[in-house]
Amino acid sequence: MLIRRRAALMGLATSWALGRASLAVAAPSSHEEDPRLVVIIMRGALDGMSAVTPYGDPSLAAHRRALILPEPGTAGGMLDMGGFYGLHPALQNMHALYAAGQLLPVHAVAGNYRSRSHFEAQDCLESGADARMDSGWLNRAVSLMSQRDAGPDGYGLAMGLTVPLLLRGPARVGSYAPAASHHPDPDLYRQIAALNADDPVTGPALRNALQARGFSDTVMESSRAAVSSPRKGSRPDAFVTLSTAAGRMLASRRGPRIAALEIGGWDTHARQIDRLGRPLTQLDRGVAALRDGLGPAWSRTVVLALTEFGRTVRINGTGGTDHGTGTVAFVAGGPVAGGRVAGTWPGLRPGQLFENRDLAPTTDLRCVAAGLLCDHLRLKPAAMATVFPGAAASPMQGLIRQA
């Protein structure tokens, strides 16, 4: 089969042992020098003040002493970020990026949504609008990119078993799952596609899936082989596997340029000090896998990791935190003006908290995303009205190093 579509997708047989991660990719191109963008959705609300801890804030200890790790430079302590902030020790690889000037946390960010419901907040985060839409901001951004090589059947690909709202919309996204060891011959697939040809839901889905299969199988096989396990015999987790695959696909000379991944496990209502390490480690290894998979293309890649909202400043009664507002977002990649923490720190005195409860948001997440779309993907600032309808999302400046 001629590889006309530049997208591929790997589904993982989700099982409760693997957890649920997914990857979607879009925007095929044959121009190697094109910028790449990866968006990671952290579903469940990351406690930003545990990931990037403002230990220099004099009010911090009074709110959450039991959640604060030792200061940088001590055993089991936070990783040094140059004072005031410390990075969670699970983020070893990201700390190395920080030291190399390639990681830029943006603190005290939030979307425009304030009601603390995971589900509505995720819809808003992915829609990029004040109310849920049926398309996501990243898809709308892709549809505005110059589509030099989009094949006749659209392009794009979701990995994992679903396409997140973030990447649904006018720009077509296909997806692919690896076949089981035994599967029908190509002729039966052709008949299945014909049976569904006129169906608005299943028709395009099957067409995309079948077209993606040839290209994807090759990429996926090499990806799976490339994932190095931390311990002999243990399976790498789904997120790292998908990150490796995403990195390789984005790196390929003719391949997608946009990817969306998701990772869960952040809803730490209890025993947060024990529970946050695992998802942070997965995130950290996933970012490293992306960088390794991308190879030289890392110098043209930006990764944005965001979450629907933050968590309460005060520790709750069960060693955890409840749903909050302001949190941290991570921007990483070769072109990033990193090695510092961006955003405006609002302070933690009771009068400075949002509703005397949460970290006050001082930066709209959509401004961060818009800054990357404009300065990295070179979309026009005027296009932000389409990507983020109803939001006065003025692109945040200075996220990308000026070449």
Partner 1 sequence: MQSLETMNRFGWGIRGTETVSDRPRDWLARQLREPDAARFTGVGTTADGLIALRTQRMNRMQGDPLVKPIFQAEVATQLDNLLLTRQPFRERLAWFWFNHFTVSLRQGGTRAIIGAYMREAIRPHVTGRFVDMLVAVMRHPAMLMYLDNASSIGPDSPAGRKGHRGLNENLARECLELHTLSPQGGYTQADVTAFAAILTGWGVDLKADQPGFVFREKAHEPGIRTMMGHRFGEGEEGGLQALHFLGTHPATYHHIATRMVTHFITDTPDEHDVTQVSRVLQQTEGNLAAAALMLPTLVDTTAAGGKFRSPMDYATAVMRALSMGGTPSQPDDPHSSAHTLLAAFAALGQPLWTAPLPNGWSDRAADWAAPADMLARSDWAWQIAGQMRKGDPLDIAHAVLGPALRAQTVTAMQHAGSRQDALTLLFSSPEFQRR
Where does this chain bind partner 1 (CB under 8 A)?
9, 11, 13-16, 19-20, 43-44, 66, 115-120, 134, 158-163, 168, 174-177, 179-180, 182-184, 188-189, 191-192, 194-196, 199, 201-206, 208-210, 212-213, 264, 267, 269-270, 316-320, 322-323, 355, 357
Q: How many CA atoms lie within 13 A of 3 on its CB side?
A: 18
How far apart are CB 276 and partner 1 at their closest, in Å?
13
What are the start-end ranges of the E strands in 230-286?
255-263
Q: C-alpha angle with apex 121: 322 to 285, nearest 5 degrees?
A: 75
Q: Whose Cβ is closer to partner 1: residue 35's or residue 164's?
A: 164
Residue 129, both tokens: 């609008």
Closest-CA residue to 311 (of 86, 48, 120, 18): 48
Residue 210 Cβ vs partner 1, minimum distance, rounded to whole Å: 7
The CB-of-367 to partner 1 minimum distance in angstroms stands at 25
Cβ distance 313 to 352 under 8 Å?
no
How far is the C-alpha of 239 from the C-alpha of 22, rounded, in Å? 7
Q: Which is nearer to partner 1, 148 or 235 (CB)?
A: 235
CA distance 298 to 286: 14
Min separation Cβ 158 and partner 1, Å: 6
> Distance (Å, rounded) from C-alpha 314 to C-alpha 320?
9
Residue whose CB is less far from partner 1, 95 or 213:
213
Q: Are strands 301-307 and 255-263 parallel, antiparallel or unpaired?
A: unpaired
| Cβ at position 270, least distance to partner 1 in Å | 5
Which of residues 115 and 402 has its CB atom nearest to partner 1 in the complex?
A: 115
Residue 235 CB partners (closer than 8 Å, separation 6+) = 18, 229
Which of residues 160 and 255 has its CB atom nearest to partner 1 in the complex?
Answer: 160
Look up residue 385 and give its amino acid.
Answer: A
CA quadruple 117, 279, 331, 127: dihedral positive or negative?
negative
Shortest separation between residue 391's beta carbon and partner 1, angstroms: 21
User: Three-class SS of residue 385?
Assistant: helix
- Name the residue nearer to partner 1 (CB basis): 34 or 322: 322
| Closer residue to partner 1 in complex, CB, 15/74 | 15
Q: Is residue 29 classed exposed, middle or buried when 0-12, 13-18 and 19+ CB atoms within 10 A define those classes?
A: buried
> Cβ of residue 142: shortest distance to partner 1, in angstroms?
17
Collapsing DSSP to helix, strand or coil, 302 comes out as: strand
Provide, rounded to whole angstroms, the least separation between the CB of residue 68 and partner 1. Answer: 14
Token pair recorded at residue 397: 């400046």
Whether 36 and 298 have beta carbons less than 8 Å apart is answered as no
Pick 2 or 17: Cβ nearer partner 1: 17
